[in-house]
Amino acid sequence: MSLASHSFRWFPVWQRNFLVWRKLALPSILGNLADPLIYMLGLGYGLGALLPTLDGQPYVAFLAAGTVCASTMNAATFEALYSSFSRMHVQKTWDAILNTPLGLTDVVAGELFWAATKSLFSGAAILVVISVMGLSHGPLALWALPAIVLTGLAFAALGLIWNALAPSYDFFMYYFTLFITPMTLISGVFFPTDQLPSWLALIGGWLPLAQGVALVRPLLAGQVPPNALIHIMALLLTSVVAFAIALHLTRRRLLK
């Protein structure tokens, strides 16, 4: 099934989550901004003062693009894990929705697109701050927004797989420890991947976070990303395949 199956029947699920989030929108956005900005400013200006330019730009500008992608990844992941698990398992919101004409595909697709929307809010907020600080160049930076959406979709879909498998909140720590944190370190967020051993750089280059970084970093520098279509297709393929797996696992869990 397509992600937008049944003519956007998933939209009421997205709308329900948006209306709940809207009540605490400002604290939510500020919370998503604080941690990545602290890292960006602390490392960018502190460590950056000790480093030469990278790819012709100051380290803080290099790090800014990685921070946008990492924040997008984290926002989508937290929403697809903790929030979706709460609605599915703790609050029984999914059970209530499934007693309406909507089906499980609509619920999971609604969660997917809502998690991607949350990641867009987070990534866009950091993008605004970066622009105000003068760390983006030219109108091409606006194309970072679609790249943020694609990155958010990929990580939302991946998170929903783990959500379908999780017996409790504690289970999510394995996902962060074994997947999210190592990926952040080898995907070009903090330093160029060519500083890594060749085999590790090859692995990192195939990961979804690296695809997002490869799109966003050139755009913020006012350049067209090399091999942009490859990175776009990689993120789309990740989203579609991961969503199909998440839907299958969720159906097996809830509709046995």
- The whole-number pLDDT of residue 7 equals 65
Over the stretch 189-217, which tens digit does the pLDDT of each residue have?
988 888 889 999 999 999 999 999 999 99
Q: How confident is the model at residue 3 (pLDDT cuts 50, 70, 90)?
A: very low
**Reported pTM:** 0.91
Length of the chain in terms of residues written: 256
- The whole-number pLDDT of residue 31 equals 74
Residues 139 and 126: their CA atoms lie apart, in Å, by 16
Average pLDDT value for residue range 160-188: 95
Residue 176 amino acid letter: F
Average pLDDT value for residue range 19-35: 81
- Which of 37-46, 93-102, 143-152, 166-175 is the least confident region? 37-46
| Cβ-based neighbour number of residue 188 at 10 Å | 26
3-state secondary structure of 112: helix
- The whole-number pLDDT of residue 2 equals 46
Which candidate, 185, 240, 30, 32, places its Cα nearest to that of 119?
32
Pure H helices in 79-207 = 84-85, 93-98, 104-132, 144-165, 172-175, 181-186, 198-206
Task: Domain ranges for the chain, please list them.
Answer: 30-254
Q: Is the dihedral of CA 171, 71, 48, 199 positive or negative?
A: positive
Average pLDDT value for residue range 88-102: 93
Residues 132 and 27: their CA atoms lie apart, in Å, by 21
- The whole-number pLDDT of residue 6 equals 52
- Residue 51 confidence (pLDDT) above 50: yes
Q: How confident is the model at residue 256 (pLDDT cuts 50, 70, 90)?
A: low
Distances (CA, A) of 92 to 45, 81, 86, 99, 121: 46, 15, 8, 11, 26
Which candidate, 67, 222, 223, 78, places its Cα nearest to that of 148?
67
Average pLDDT value for residue range 159-168: 95
Q: How confident is the model at residue 61 (pLDDT cuts 50, 70, 90)?
A: confident
Q: How confident is the model at residue 95 (pLDDT cuts 50, 70, 90)?
A: very high
- Which of 50-54, 88-92, 176-180 is the least confident region? 50-54
